[in-house]
Structure 1
């Protein structure tokens, strides 16, 4: 038995050199392979912490002395931990014992070429915590329907290894590495052991180091997490444009179905608009006034409600090409409502003082009659000049009509 264990460790260490490891690190890789097969778990002295707010509400900093967690909304209140293993937030849990927990993350990536789902990661992490070896967990991965769909029901060793290189390391196998793994499998290395060899290789660890270094999010079994509302990005648009709000990025770590609830925080005082629905994931509205519309979104899984998410829609007037003043419309002859309608349609000359309000007293005062010179040719119209509020005179001109 001791001989077989030593042979297995030697085979894994030798093979790891063929999938990204260097010969000078083979002893480290061998110890890693032996440890992961033993299923060692974190010590009982490690601390688990439960915090009442969402993950986004905290700043977690790794220090030489341990960890510092700062509650961002709570005036930056901080607490230090000399040892911190796992943190349960209101919306998700986070594993900070990265060297240990990342074994499951890497195994998912190597086997399935994808980021692990939160529930699946939590499930297998709990099994690893119970003392089950990584190789035993890998056997379950190899026997899964997803694995067989990616690799085939019973591929030969060359095809199996080629696909494992592609999925785990994102490259084709090099000749020496492939030969090394084939030799190891011929000597008795199982596919689950090979999978662990790839997942714990230096090449795979280096590729995922930046992904896991700040902690690994997961879902604990038996915990109902609070859903997280996402109201989408702030939008800048113009009048008369249909605006669609989007809550589809809202999440629930338990994958529970969620219900949406939109509300209006504020809008322009003259606006009479309402959302098409307050419970749809993508309600819409058409702005009827210039200004800012602010909406709040909460989502509910039937047990817990999310913190509100806020989105703002900034609405400006539709840019309109100015229509020349041909003398047809004069402020002195227009009602305020007609003047406003004409102004919005492009008759910007009705606002002589350029304050955004057409046909006020100031505009009428500078709308003095203009002497039109003799028509130079037929089919020509005179565009009246006018004097701005600051005294600058804008010359009239002839144009085709």
Structure 2
């Protein structure tokens, strides 16, 4: 009973449940998957399958649809191969994903976790009310002031609000950057190619504070790399790359949309602690806490923790070595002699109280073990601070007017 009540809170994969429904009721798996995408409710799908009525499933407004997701990729050549030679490129926006449903005079906004957030963005709702269409838009809610996208931490002041004061509306105005239209005046657009969906979106002539994602076309890996470099120069951490022929697949992480993110830089760090892993790594020391050198206080300060990047063979070998240089065994965690140097890649540096360095790395992963280096060669805290200042300069994200 619990499995078929909408959210799969116990971690069961939707695909497995869909296979079970298809088998139990003798229904085509494709029909079960389609109904699941439209309704987002496997309980309803099971009932439709039992009645032999799966093809009657319809996309309904005011019922949140699972968002289409992007697959991460670091290589421009691989991306161009996947999208077939033509790529539509957008900035990876620094806001929250939003889904806007408008039917008659009623407007509802849903966040990525499918919770309603309508009350937090009254200016978007008011503007949507005058749009002369029933519509479902996918986009991003961003803080926007003085003609530029503002940092995410400013948008956070608007999140979770039931009432938004006039002062807050003035201090943190928002825009809805639409990048897809999924339903228009009774027409389900999920099966239409992105090229057609974007054409319809452009023709909606949406009022302010609606804007559209700024599109750049790339036809070669070299062009895509140049676009990425320009985005990084504007202090953006990545790009969204889309196949203009792609359909919209709710809740799926396919190859029609890809997220191009590359390591911002690498740091040479020293391992100060190791921890037993989880799952297949529950018997090895696979999670490494690492540090840089603080010259002012003449001590090591932790800056992060990584558990990806090494092979199973390397982890097994390092487990034996870390046991041999353990200073203190706390059970799951061991304090070790600081002598193993790693090169660690990451996507961003943030100020954080989590570590005694005052900084934390976003998505750290081990690039390699630097057996050619010693603790004297690791990066300093001053260098980390310099990199943080460079990355946290003014971020420029590209949007365009939604009015033709």
More helix by share: 1
More strand by share: 2
Give the TM interval when normalised to the shorter protein: under 0.3
Q: TM-score, normalised on structure 2?
A: 0.23
Which structure's CA Rg is the greater one? 1
